[in-house]
Structure 1
């Protein structure tokens, strides 16, 4: 049985997010962000989902791209261990976009795990599943009950020259129907600072990785 492809839900901007544009959705009701919260770094990569049967980008019909090939190799290694109907969401990090990284722990960084009932697992379970699959996570910057402390936590560890921003979510599980008011993001102003033409080149810049995970640039396809 094939798994239906589900697009990763849209994450609304938190109040005061400098990167929010006129077209972006804003999280005006913060009542869903109570209790214990987890603040993770918003990595500048490509949103990718792994299932047992396939791997796809956030635009579920777009297929994958040359810069996702190292992530696809990771998917091929772990796919058989993903439970049927589950989804592993993360960032494909090989291509260097507007933020460059020099010491990443992997080409695919997990930020969410979805059960077969379309519930985003709690963070402790997310960490456990990432460990079971041998996949690194996006950096956790803060864990605590104070939403007001999320920006302060990010600022203690990062700044706008080296980080896109952060994402905040409850530490517990989040049903997909509640995602829109229980997960928020803060993004730096004018985040996209690279020309879109890099997507049409074979020699696009790449991020730096730890020696144990250094991916090799795949060969260009042979002319048709």
Structure 2
């Protein structure tokens, strides 16, 4: 199943004419979680397969370490669940020096096509022995949530952030309850790196 498009927050500098911006923020009420938007490649682990944004997208050379990790993890993923995260082995626009793993979980979908609440996401990631993306804020203020990234990160070392409702999110509500803010010109690599075998890699803790 294809990973849903994440809409931009109003004022997100990285939004282009091809992107969608969510202006109705009324759904972001209650407890919120802000995670760092990592500069990696979107991957999904299921019990039976590993793929990028859609089932027919295949895998790339820079996903080899993540594929090896999936092979060791797949049997523990419940049927019809999808574990989604960033493939972090290849270095893209940001050079990371202390990553906790080659695959960082940012969301898990259950068999009802519902995104697990954040606490359950962390719990399941721990059961699967997979690290999660960094958390920058948790609380009830949208303004504080949106300010958390700039207090802890800069555009030189971070692509942006994702703010989501802390609880369970049905697929139909995703475009209102999971939004992103992305730095301007966030893709800063030459497209040719994808056609090379000697692409740079990140560093890990």
Q: What displacement does 1:61 show?
A: 1.1
Q: Which residue of 1 aligns with 2:47?
A: 52
Task: From 75, 87, 93, give the equivalent of 1:92.
Answer: 87
Which deviates the most, 75-84 or 149-158? 149-158
The 2-side partners of 1:32 and 1:118 are apart by 19
Corresponding position of 2:112: 117
Q: In the alignment, what sits opposite 2:31?
A: 36
> How many matched pairs?
205
Match of residue 168, structure 1, among 155, 163, 166: 163
Residue 150 of structure 1: CA displacement? 2.0
Q: Map 1:1-224 onto structure 2 (within 5 A).
A: 6-210=1-205
CA distance, structure 2, for counterparts of residue 201 and residue 51 of structure 1? 28
**What SS does the corresponding residue of 2:108 show, helix, strand or coil?**
strand
Q: 2:33, 2:174 → 1: CA distance?
A: 14
Counterpart secondary structure, 2:202 = coil
- Deviation above 3 Å: which 4+ runs of structure 1? none
Unaligned runs of 5+ residues in structure 2 are: none
- Deviations along 1:71-91, one digit per CA (max 9) or x if unpaired, are 001101110000001000000
Structure 1 residue 51, shift from structure 2 partner = 0.2
Equivalent-residue separation in structure 2 for 1:60 and 1:102 (angstroms): 31
| TM-score, reference length from structure 2 | 0.99
Whole-Å Cα distance in 1 between the matches of residues 95 and 5 of structure 2? Answer: 24
Larger Rg belongs to: 1
Give the gaps of 5 or more residues in structure 1: 1-5, 211-224
Instruction: Kindly state the Cα deviation for residue 59 of structure 1 after the two structures are TM-superposed.
Output: 3.5
